[in-house]
Amino acid sequence: MAGQAEKVFVPTDDELLQAQSDLWRHSLCYLTPMSLRCAVDLGVPTAIHRLGGAASPSELVAALSLPASKLPFLARLLRQLATAGVFSSTDAGTYRLNPLSYLLVDGVRIDGDASQTALVRAVASRYYMEAAMGLADWFRKDFDGAVPSPFEDVHGAALFEESMALLDPEMDQLIHDALAAHDHLGIGPVLRQCRELFDGLESLTDCGGGDGTTARSIVEAYPHITCTVLDLPKVMDKVLPAQEGAVKYVSGDLFHVVPPAQAVLLKVYMNVAHSINFPSEILRVWLGLSRFRLKVSVK
């Protein structure tokens, strides 16, 4: 009956016990990225690699020059990360690198420098944590005009903007290093596993292509493709002369002009695209092109 009040939901005992367990899991899940950041800062993956790919907590305490009193705590850290899938553990009490932790070894090379330590340090930094902790206040605020991202509201600076460089130059560089590390690692598998994307393609513009690593990899794999890299002037000013030649570099704003090409490569970083209008704003620029194919990599 439409007018009849719905029965009040009352969980069963089994559901209550499961709910309590889930609540603990969700409330404490922040410990995983914090533990991962700790392991990266200590150099645990690199130490395991140098010890032959497997090490015990006591061996790591010695290799990392940690106080002996921290041995039981390091053992807990390693167990937590092994449970999270960062390391592989053995019955003998040793920890091994797996594909995930292999990417956190300093200097590891897969199609170039593949270390992702900058990514871990960036997203597990206090800037991201403080922005997340301010979400409730952000929702309560009634902003005049454009709504800033939670990050910008808390810190008064926007990621990838000059304001971030002024706020903390080291953090700004770390963020860019993290994005570069992501691109350096990701393009190789894409070129090998998604060859159909490049069939029949003669020209491509990489929007926000940075130093051109992705574009140069594409040209190396498919020499017949003419690649253009578009990025902001502050990025183009850092391009070394030795990097030019294989691709064309264009300084500009992708919200205003996109060099014409058959295809456009766009890496949509979700921290930038906090506005739902972000993709449509760029598409409005691209629709001025006579012919193009859109290839999107969401990060």
DSSP character string of 204-255 = EEEET-TTSHHHHHHHHH-TT-EEEEEE-HHHHTT--GGG-SSSEEEES-TT
Domains of the chain, each with CATH number or no CATH? 13-106 (1.10.10.10), 108-193 (no CATH), 199-298 (3.40.50.150)
Predicted confidence at residue 270, as pLDDT, reads 44
Vertex 270 angle, CA 197 and 137, to 5°:
170
Residue 180 DSSP symbol: H
Predicted confidence at residue 195, as pLDDT, reads 87
pLDDT tens digits in sequence order for the chain, 299 residues long:
555 657 788 899 999 999 999 999 999 999 999 999 999 999 999 999 999 999 999 999 999 999 999 999 999 999 999 999 999 998 888 999 999 999 999 988 777 778 999 999 999 999 999 999 999 999 999 999 999 999 999 999 998 888 999 999 999 999 988 888 887 777 888 888 888 888 889 999 998 888 888 898 899 889 989 999 998 887 788 776 655 667 899 988 877 788 888 888 876 554 443 444 444 555 555 455 444 444 444 44
Predicted confidence at residue 125, as pLDDT, reads 95
How does 39-52 read in b/e, with b if 16+ C-beta sit within 10 Å? bbeebbbbbbbeee
Angle between helices 169-193 and 213-221 (to 10 degrees): 20
Task: Extract the tokens encoding 262.
Answer: 């058959």
Burial of 167 (0-12, 13-18, 19+ CB in 10 A): middle
